[in-house]
């Protein structure tokens, strides 16, 4: 494991470089989506999101497979995820009004997760990765965002159904994380 590596070597590890790349793709995704004026432009934005998603999968795979997991990477990966998701949700809210409600829920959920994560870290505790319901929520959110960008002429009713499903799963995930953090706070230690 490379957690004992000096910070300089952690910074340039392949998985961490992929995380930085995902962060750099965020303004490109937003720009391509917000300036799109043809179906081809929307599809290019969707392809860029796909590249970001593949890179997200690969950075974790490479880190685990080649023992390149670092403390820095454990911070960069979720930051890249949340910045990407937040930027896309916000961008989509300009076209799909219901997405604005999802953006508010996203900020509340991720704000809660961030604050609780910091509070637990200060007590020497840590959530060891996302729980299954968090992973399902994230996967569905990415799928919905990808579809809304890939199919720009989707009927508003269809878009609202997709956004509603994603919102329901996000709310469920938020509510299920509350007892996880509560248990961590009471018992101490890490949660898997």
Q: What are phi and psi of 155, to 5 degrees?
A: -60, 145
User: What pLDDT does residue 16 have?
Assistant: 94
> What distances in angstroms separate CA 4 from CA 42, 62, 67, 149, one per listed residue?
43, 18, 12, 42
Domains of the chain as residue ranges with CATH: 1-92 (1.20.120.1760), 97-192 (no CATH)
pLDDT at 129: 72
- At residue 135, the pLDDT reads 87
Q: Determine the pLDDT at residue 130.
A: 78
State residue 4's pLDDT score.
Answer: 59
Residue 2 pLDDT: 44
Predicted confidence at residue 57, as pLDDT, reads 86
pLDDT along the chain (192 residues), means of 10: 67 93 97 95 94 90 90 89 96 96 97 92 81 91 94 96 98 96 78 50
Please give the pLDDT value at position 49. Answer: 93
Mean pLDDT of all residues in the chain? Answer: 91
SS3 191: strand
| Per-residue pLDDT, 121 | 85
Quick count: other Cβ atoms within 10 Å of Cβ 167?
22
pLDDT of residue 186: 86
Whole-number Å distance between alpha carbons of 83 and 88: 9
Structure tokens at 22: 């995902």
How confident is the model at residue 123, as a pLDDT? 87
Determine the Cα–Cα distance for residues 83 and 34; give it in Å rounded to an integer.
17
């Amino acid at each position: 494991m490379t957690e004992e590596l000096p910070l300089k070597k952690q910074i340039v590890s392949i998985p961490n470089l992929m995380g930085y790349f995902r962060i750099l793709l965020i303004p490109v995704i937003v720009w391509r989506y917000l300036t799109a004026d043809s179906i081809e432009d929307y599809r290019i934005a969707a392809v860029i999101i796909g590249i970001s998603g593949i890179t997200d999968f690969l950075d974790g795979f490479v880190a685990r497979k080649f023992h390149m997991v670092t403390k820095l990477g454990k911070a960069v990966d979720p930051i890249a995820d949340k910045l990407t998701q937040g930027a896309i949700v916000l961008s989509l809210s300009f076209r799909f009004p219901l997405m604005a409600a999802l953006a508010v829920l996203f900020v509340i959920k991720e704000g809660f997760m961030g604050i609780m994560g910091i509070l637990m870290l200060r007590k020497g505790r840590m959530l060891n990765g996302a729980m299954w319901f968090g992973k399902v929520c994230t996967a569905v959110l990415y799928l919905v965002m990808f579809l809304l960008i890939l199919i720009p002429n989707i009927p508003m009713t269809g878009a609202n159904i997709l956004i509603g499903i994603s919102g329901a799963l996000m709310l469920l995930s938020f509510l299920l994380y509350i007892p996880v953090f509560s248990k961590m706070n009471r018992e101490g230690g890490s949660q898997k």
